């Protein structure tokens, strides 16, 4: 009997103990849940992501889902997203996140919080997890650790310190949770990106492109390089500002198509970045030819202009009538016709008020008179009207300047051969018999825009990829053989054009001023999710806002005016503004004289003096 009583008491004790354990579980996790809620509300991310298998496995995960007010998403390991947000993981002893991180498309702005509860919370496990995350270069990571006696601490890691480089190292205490005030004591920045703002002179593997004039990389010694151009100067400044030592492992020379360049030279750098052979690619990169999955561009600087280099004066000869018309710009011709019409109206109205009206009574005669005086014919008519004389004085001077300028330009046609037009449009290139060529990169640039432009589709069909070799002989062929049109970035073409003198080439190519394609360019390439993305973007933004990049560009943009220009240029309004100023002044003076005569004539009539003659022995009287 006593045995049965003891057995019943044992079962009752076990039941009560299990009930106490179940009901006390939420109380044990309540502080952790409050701490997580405070972190989420502080950073206010658009979404909170949890792993599906951890929600099923971890008891606290379901409690957190019930109290979260922010949008939350449960992710399947086979369907990860690259959306920016806060990823909430739950650590477990002996578990590695390498497989999970390998499947993820990491957004460099995303943040990761690993929650450790008892009995799995051990600092050695926290350090192993940090090592997993740094293996994928994720630095916005923090661990919330529930200690054995109820305290809650917040840990993170710094991969670059004065004593180590590129190593997660031991966990570093950031803050602790105060259960009384329901807040962190230090209120530290949990996911600070400053972890990589000072790399403590540590080495970073880098590769660059020698793409003059915008990116110049010259090897001076075994491990010494000289950087120039906008891309080179930005990279040099960034290395100094972030305090890292660049170890240059490869230089892709775009002026020489060796095997790397022949297979799209910057994709070689992109491949090195994706395979983690290098950390940063620097130089000048286009979003069309260098775009690839897993590749991220630093902040874009400007729009690249892609155009053609063609032989100088390779177009058709202009028709004869065009030679006579092209002496003046169209707006100058319009002003000349306006001045002739105004001269006719002025002389006609002035003649109505003049005493010698017979001079300009006939309209046909007046038209011939205006045109004759404009051409410089002799004038036999003499007018006594002051406004008319004032107008004709400046009209003849204006006509002399205009006609002399036209005759001088027209006389050059007899002594100087007529200039052949340049090719200045895509249609001109398509209608020519030139071979259309360029580097493999340029084929990708053209092909990327072929779906929106039928002319570009025709160009892609005729495009011939340049074989491996130096680019300058191709530019020389444009000048000497005059049978090829080269497609490339405009500033690179202008730079190559100036280098032709090194090959003793007489003449130059014509670089079309209009851009066939415009694409944004960036000075650096990085891996998607790279921890260096934010500090590099911030550095470039400060250089842009301070005007330093604009200053560097001004020093290097003298090439824009060295593409060659015609020996003859049309006379524009700026050139002839003096003649039109004389004409306008003459009209104004004639108008003032006319108004003066009109008003003085009325005044004299109003106060007219009558001369009265009085005979001898006569007195004046009034009737």
Domain that holds residue 145: 29-184
Q: How far apart are CA 333 and CA 314, in angstroms?
A: 28
Instruction: Supply the pLDDT for residue 423.
Output: 86
Token pair 């003459």 in the structure block, residue: 586
- The CA–CA distances, whole Å, from 222 to 174, 247, 385 equal 43, 11, 90
Give the total number of structural domains in the chain: 2
Token pair 């950073």 in the structure block, residue: 43
CATH number (domain holding residue 159) = 3.40.50.2300
Instruction: Supply the pLDDT for residue 616.
Output: 55
CA 308 from chain centre, in angstroms, equals 21
In a domain, 541, yes or no: no
- Residue 45 and residue 69 in contact, taking contact as beta carbons nearer than 8 Å: no
C-beta atoms surrounding 266 within 10 Å: 25
- The CA–CA distances, whole Å, from 243 to 199, 232, 528, 544 equal 5, 16, 22, 20
Instruction: Supply the pLDDT for residue 573.
Output: 57
In a domain, 220, yes or no: no
Token pair 């889902």 in the structure block, residue: 65
Q: How far apart are CA 6 and CA 18, in angstroms?
A: 18
In a domain, 527, yes or no: no
- The CA–CA distances, whole Å, from 526 to 54, 92, 278, 385, 523 equal 32, 32, 9, 82, 10
**Helix (H/G/I), strand (E/B), else coil: 239:** helix
Instruction: Supply the pLDDT for residue 215.
Output: 87
| Residue at a domain's end among 382, 397, 415 | 415
Q: What residues of the chain score a pLDDT lower than 50? A: 3, 5-7, 9, 11-13, 15-27, 258-266, 561-568, 603-614, 618-623
Nearest to 401 by CA among 594, 272, 580, 231: 580
In a domain, 325, yes or no: yes
| Residue at a domain's end among 370, 393, 415 | 415
| Residue at a domain's end among 184, 199, 229 | 184
Two tokens at 143? 């661990």
- The CA–CA distances, whole Å, from 578 to 396, 450, 569, 583 equal 14, 49, 18, 9
In a domain, 289, yes or no: no
Q: How far apart are CA 575 and CA 571, in angstroms?
A: 6
- Residue 60 and residue 32 in contact, taking contact as beta carbons nearer than 8 Å: yes
Q: What b/e string do you get for 381-394 counting C-beta neighbours within 10 Å, with b at 16 or more?
A: eebebbbbebbbeb
In a domain, 536, yes or no: no
Instruction: Supply the pLDDT for residue 263.
Output: 46
- Residue 162 and residue 154 in contact, taking contact as beta carbons nearer than 8 Å: no
Listing DSSP states for 417-479 in one string gives: PPPPPPP-SHHHHHHS-PEEEE-HHHHHHHHHTTTT-HHHHHHHHHEEEPPSSBSHHHHHHHH
In a domain, 619, yes or no: no
Instruction: Supply the pLDDT for residue 127.
Output: 93
Which ranges of 329-385 does DSSP label H, i.e. alpha helix? 330-353, 363-375
């Amino acid at each position: 009997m006593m045995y049965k009583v003891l057995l019943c008491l044992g079962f009752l004790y076990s039941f009560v103990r299990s009930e106490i354990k179940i009901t006390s579980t939420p109380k044990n996790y309540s502080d952790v849940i409050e701490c997580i809620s405070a972190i989420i509300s502080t950073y206010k991310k658009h979404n909170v992501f949890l792993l599906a298998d951890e929600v099923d496995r971890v008891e606290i995960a379901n409690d957190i889902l019930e109290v979260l007010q922010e949008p939350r998403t449960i992710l399947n390991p086979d369907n990860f997203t690259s959306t920016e947000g806060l990823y909430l993981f739950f650590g477990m002893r002996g578990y590695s996140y390498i497989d999970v991180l390998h499947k993820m498309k990491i957004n460099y702005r995303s943040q990761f919080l690993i929650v450790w509860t008892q009995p799995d919370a051990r600092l050695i496990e926290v350090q192993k997890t940090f090592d997993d995350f740094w293996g994928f270069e994720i630095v916005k990571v923090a661990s919330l650790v529930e200690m054995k006696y109820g305290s809650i601490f917040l840990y993170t890691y710094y991969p670059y310190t004065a004593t180590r480089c590129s190593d997660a190292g031991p966990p570093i205490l950031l803050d602790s949770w105060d259960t009384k005030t329901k807040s962190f004591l230090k209120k530290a920045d949990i996911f600070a990106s400053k972890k990589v703002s000072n790399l403590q002179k540590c080495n970073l593997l880098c590769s660059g492109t020698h793409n003059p004039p915008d990116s110049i990389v010259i090897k001076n010694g075994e491990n010494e390089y000289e950087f120039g151009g906008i891309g080179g100067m930005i990279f040099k400044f960034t290395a100094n500002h972030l305090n890292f030592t660049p170890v240059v492992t490869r230089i892709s020379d775009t002026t020489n198509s060796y095997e790397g360049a022949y297979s799209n030279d910057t994709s070689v750098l992109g491949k090195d970045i994706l395979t983690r052979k290098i950390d940063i690619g620097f130089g000048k990169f286009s979003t069309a030819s260098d775009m690839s999955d897993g590749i991220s561009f630093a902040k874009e600087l400007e729009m690249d202009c892609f155009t053609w280099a063609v032989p100088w004066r390779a177009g058709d000869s202009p028709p004869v009538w065009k030679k006579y018309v092209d002496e003046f710009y169209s707006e100058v011709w319009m002003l000349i016709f306006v001045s002739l019409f105004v001269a006719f109206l002025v002389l006609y109205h002035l003649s109505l008020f003049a005493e010698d009206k017979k001079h300009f009574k006939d309209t046909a005669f007046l038209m011939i008179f205006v045109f004759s005086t404009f051409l410089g014919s002799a004038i036999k008519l003499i007018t006594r009207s002051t406004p008319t004389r004032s107008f004709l004085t400046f009209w003849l001077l204006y006509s002399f300047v205009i006609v002399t300028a036209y005759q001088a330009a027209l006389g050059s046609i007899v002594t100087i051969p007529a200039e052949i037009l340049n090719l200045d449009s895509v249609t001109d290139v398509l209608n020519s018999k030139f071979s259309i060529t360029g580097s493999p990169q340029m084929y990708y640039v053209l092909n990327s825009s072929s779906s929106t432009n039928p002319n570009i589709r025709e160009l892609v069909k005729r495009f011939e990829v340049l074989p491996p070799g130096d680019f300058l002989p191709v530019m020389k062929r444009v000048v000497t053989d005059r049978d090829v049109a080269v497609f490339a970035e405009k500033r690179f073409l202008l730079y190559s054009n100036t280098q032709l003198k090194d090959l003793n080439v007489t003449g130059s190519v014509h670089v079309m001023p209009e851009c066939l394609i415009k694409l944004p360019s960036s000075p650096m390439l990085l891996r998607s999710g790279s921890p260096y993305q934010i500090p590099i973007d911030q550095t470039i933004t400060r250089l842009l806002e301070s005007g330093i990049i604009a200053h560097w560009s001004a020093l290097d943009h003298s090439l824009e005016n060295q593409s060659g220009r015609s020996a003859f240029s049309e006379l524009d309004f700026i050139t002839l503004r003096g003649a039109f100023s004389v004409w306008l002044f003459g009209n104004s003076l004639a108008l003032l004289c006319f108004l003066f005569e009109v008003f003085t004539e009325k005044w004299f009539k109003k106060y007219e003096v009558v001369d009265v003659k009085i005979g001898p022995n006569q007195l004046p009287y009034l009737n």
